[in-house]
Structure 1
Amino acid sequence: MNFDQITSKENSLFKELRLLQATGSKGQKARISSGCALLEGIHLVQTWVGDPALKTIFTSEAGLKNAEIAEAVYSQIEICPDTKVYQLDSALWDLLSDLVNAPHIAGLLELPKSSLVAAQSLANLDGDVVILDRIQDAGNVGTILRTAAAAGFTQIIALSGCAHLWSSKVLRAGMGAHRLLDLYEGWTNQQVLSAVTAPLMAATAEAEQDLFTLKQELLNPVAWVMGSEGQGVSDDLLAQAKGVSIPIDPRVESLNVSTAAAICLFETMRVRRT
């Protein structure tokens, strides 16, 4: 099967891919403007094989000689025949990916509407929620998404100031969890307080309430708020939430936010299973 070739870094589509990879506000603006994110690597592409949201696949002549890559490409075409496939010149892969010895496969994914729709259009958001309050490290954000999916928390709200949920680094750290989640971005504190119906539980070191003494509160839907690495949960949300602390050795000042999220979410799961 012959695929269209991209041989120059000046190609307009290739330039678009580079923009989607950009860090910070530049990349976020490009992803929101185009409504697309870039999936890098075989694992992420495999996660979305069979989904029409995987609009375009990029590989190379060398990539198609890899059995795993070839299977992903041809499976996607068979299930979703409208998928477009491009072969990039091998030299372009070093410009496209910052991964060492990156496999020659990437995908252009159409973002779900929940990531693009304004919060004002939602009347209520019922059930369990995880709220990310200005968490800026992409690795932490992706790890929390992966943990939330594993713990059965499928609704995630990222407040303004968070690392973009569809950035390359967050996608890699999420390891495919994005496909299992309903992701909402760019919300304000007030929008959270207006739309989220579950009671807010804020993980904070200063709280008197011990996580492991919670029982009845965790049996019903809950909205866990995880605060930024440096500042913690914002005062506005903290004022409306029940503060919950994780007991740790007093010689240790605090936990990494992704570790704290894992403990809170899996303790919620444990309580509901007993």
Structure 2
Amino acid sequence: MITSLQNETIKEIVKLKQKKYRDEKKMFLIEGFHLIEEARKKHSILQIITTLSDDFEEETLHVSQNVMNKLAFTRSPQPIMAICRQNNHSLIVEDGQRYLLLDRVQDPGNVGTMMRTALAFGYDQMIMSEDCVDLYNDKVIRATQGALFQMNVCVMNLKDAIVFLKHQGVDVYGTCLRDASSIETYQVKDKMAFVMGNEGQGVCDEILELCQHRLYIPIQTVESLNVGIASAITMYHFQK
């Protein structure tokens, strides 16, 4: 059992709390039994970290509560964490029918909600712009509730993604309030992609210019909807 915070192995694991090192090592941390079970299903776990005396099927590092408190993201951590391998997030699903694109979405809770919703409605892939919140941010991971290990996610330049999708025969819809048509005026098509924008600024003009269509959700009283809610309505409306 490792009890020292100065242990070199622990110091290396702590570095994974920083995006720079996560990207360099192609690894990330998860915390809690539920996320570990979801990661295990996809064989994503490299090492278990635990204060329990149990033996696990994966390589296991036993640590003291003091060390666990240092490694964990929450104030009252569960007695188990894991180091997981990152997936390859650079390839677009070529034969998909439904895509959700995120333009500079910054709130971890929104990204988690959108990922879970896309998974629930059978979307083939979620494509995030490179300036969205980090996919492996601990708050994003918790918000996905395990969907991170099931949903196909691609992180890339959104302009390149849209051009590629259009060449694949996918109709791309930008969500906005200006020069847009109601969601109710569009018919369900075989291949569709929906671009959801930044919480404060929406979809940027450069991205909107690449979209074949623009849509909005008719609402009353309030000026706009939370992007997570708007994406859920859109994805439900245009299910396969």
TM-score by length of 2: 0.90
Q: Is the 8 A contact 1:141 1:170 kept in 2?
A: yes
Q: Which of 200, 203, 221 is the aligned partner of 2:172? A: 200
Shift of 1:201: 0.9
For the residue of structure 1 that corresponds to 2:48, the secondary structure is strand
CA distance in 2, matches of 1:94, 1:31: 20
Q: 1:17-46, CA deviations, whole angstroms, 9 ceiling, x for partnerless residues?
A: 32222xxxxx22211111111111111001
Deviation by residue 1:182-232 (Cα, 9 ceiling, x = unmatched): 1111x22331133223121112133431112322xx231111101001111
Match of 1:246 in 2: 217
1:9 maps onto 2:11 in alignment: no
For residue 233 of structure 2, give the secondary structure of its aligned residue in structure 1: helix
Match of 1:43 among 24, 27, 34: 34
CA contact (8 A) 1:58 1:87 kept: yes
Aligned in 2, Cα 1:93/1:159: closer, same or farther, shift over 3 Å?
A: same
Q: Which amino acid aligns with 1:234?
A: C
- The structure whose residues are more often helix, as a share, is 1
With over 3 angstroms needed to count, the CA separation of the structure-2 counterparts of 1:94 and 1:220, relative to structure 1, is: same
User: What is the CA-CA distance between 1:51 and the residue it aligns to?
Assistant: 3.8
Judged with a 3 Å threshold, the aligned counterparts in structure 2 of structure 1 residues 125 and 132 are, in CA distance, closer, same or farther, namely farther
Deviations 1:84-122 (A, max 9, x none): 101111112222223232211111111112x2x4x6xx6
- Return the offset for 1:124: 4.9
Mapping of residues 6-155 of structure 1, within 5 Å:
6-21=2-17, 27-61=18-52, 64=53, 74=56, 77=57, 83-113=58-88, 115=89, 117=90, 124=94, 126-155=96-125
Q: Can you give the 5+ residue segments of structure 2 that lack an aligned partner in the other structure?
A: none
User: 1:37/1:125 Cα in 2 relative to 1: closer, same or farther (>3 Å)?
Assistant: farther
Cα offset for 1:171? Answer: 0.7
Say which SS state the counterpart of residue 6 (structure 1) adopts: coil
Cα pair distance change 1:105/1:202, threshold 3 Å:
same
What TM-score do the two structures reach when normalised by structure 1?
0.80
CA distance in structure 2 between the partners assigned to 1:189 and 1:256 by the alignment: 21
Describe the shift of the 1:257–1:9 C-alpha distance in structure 2 as closer, same or farther (beyond 3 A): same
Q: Tell me the distance in 2 between the aligned counterparts of 1:12 and 1:44.
A: 26
Question: What stretches of structure 1 of length at least 5 have no aligned partner?
Answer: 22-26, 65-69, 78-82
Corresponding letter in the other structure for 1:191: D
Paired position in structure 2 for 1:174? 144
2:128 to 158, 164, 181: 158
Measure the CA separation in 1 of the matches of 2:94 and 2:176: 26
Change (3 A) 1:17 1:154: farther
Conserved in 2, the CA contact under 8 Å of 1:59 and 1:105? yes
The question of whether the paired residues in 1 share the 8 Å contact of 2:46 and 2:59 is answered with yes
Percent identical among aligned pairs is 28
Alignment check: 8 A CA contact 1:207 1:245 kept: no
CA distance in 1, matches of 2:7, 2:186: 57
